[in-house]
């Protein structure tokens, strides 16, 4: 009887932990956006996207939110559906394909037989919501050519987008819109370079 009494607290603890469940994880992806400046299709322009590099705090499967200027919050159960770096590269490639009017947009690393006329390398330095219900994107981007031996342009974009709702679905939708705006800025520069070369 004494042995049973000793085991009762242990049994109660096991039962308590057995009844608790872990919340299900939610997975999010960035998506390409339709653009008001979509071009007619052409096949003679080859563009490479990448490498895309993220600031260290974004290189994780969890979505990162911001609590003030210097405090980050990592959401354990709200995650990216794949790596954020790869998702950004694919979305940028699709956006650029639409705006430039070419199906020949490839992501890094590409096959040796592919030699892009223009290569877009992107460093993302901030890509998260601020306290004012806006998402902020700070990215430095470079347009390279001649098989990565020529630097045609180096620029920095600082963009904000209103979330238009609450929660991570609204955040990710705003982030997708920011990538569309970044794509339009890069495409405009590529068009300018293409007309001068």
Structural domain boundaries of the chain? 42-196
| Tens digit of each residue's pLDDT, the chain (197 residues) | 555 556 555 555 555 555 567 788 999 999 999 765 666 666 689 999 999 999 999 999 999 988 877 888 888 999 999 999 999 999 999 999 999 999 999 999 999 999 999 999 999 999 998 878 899 999 999 999 987 789 999 999 999 999 988 899 999 999 999 999 999 999 999 999 988 76
Local structure of 76: helix, strand or coil: strand
According to the model, what pLDDT value does residue 194 have? 86
Pair 73, 66: CB distance under 8 Å: yes
According to the model, what pLDDT value does residue 62 have? 94
Q: Which helix (H) or strand (E) holds 169?
A: helix 168-196
CATH, domain range 42-196: 3.40.50.10610
- The phi, psi pair for 33, rounded to 5°, reads -120, 145
């Amino acid at each position: 009887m004494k042995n049973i009494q000793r085991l009762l607290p242990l049994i109660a603890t096991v039962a308590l932990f057995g009844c608790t469940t872990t919340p299900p994880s939610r997975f999010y992806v960035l998506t390409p956006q339709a653009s008001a400046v979509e071009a007619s299709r052409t096949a003679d322009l080859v563009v490479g996207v990448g490498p895309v590099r993220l600031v260290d705090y974004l290189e994780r499967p969890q979505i990162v939110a911001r609590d003030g200027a210097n405090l980050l919050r990592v959401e354990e159960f709200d995650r990216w559906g794949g790596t954020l770096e790869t998702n950004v590269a694919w979305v940028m490639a699709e956006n650029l394909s639409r705006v430039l009017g070419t199906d020949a947009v490839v992501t890094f690393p590409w096959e040796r037989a592919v030699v892009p006329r223009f290569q877009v390398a992107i460093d993302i330095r901030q890509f998260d919501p601020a306290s004012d219900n806006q998402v902020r994107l700070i990215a430095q981007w470079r347009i390279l050519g001649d098989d990565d031996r020529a630097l045609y342009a180096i620029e920095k974009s600082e963009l904000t987008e209103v979330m238009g709702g609450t929660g991570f679905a609204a955040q990710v939708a705003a982030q997708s819109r920011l990538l569309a705006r970044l794509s339009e800025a890069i495409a405009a520069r590529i068009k300018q370079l293409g007309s001068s070369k």
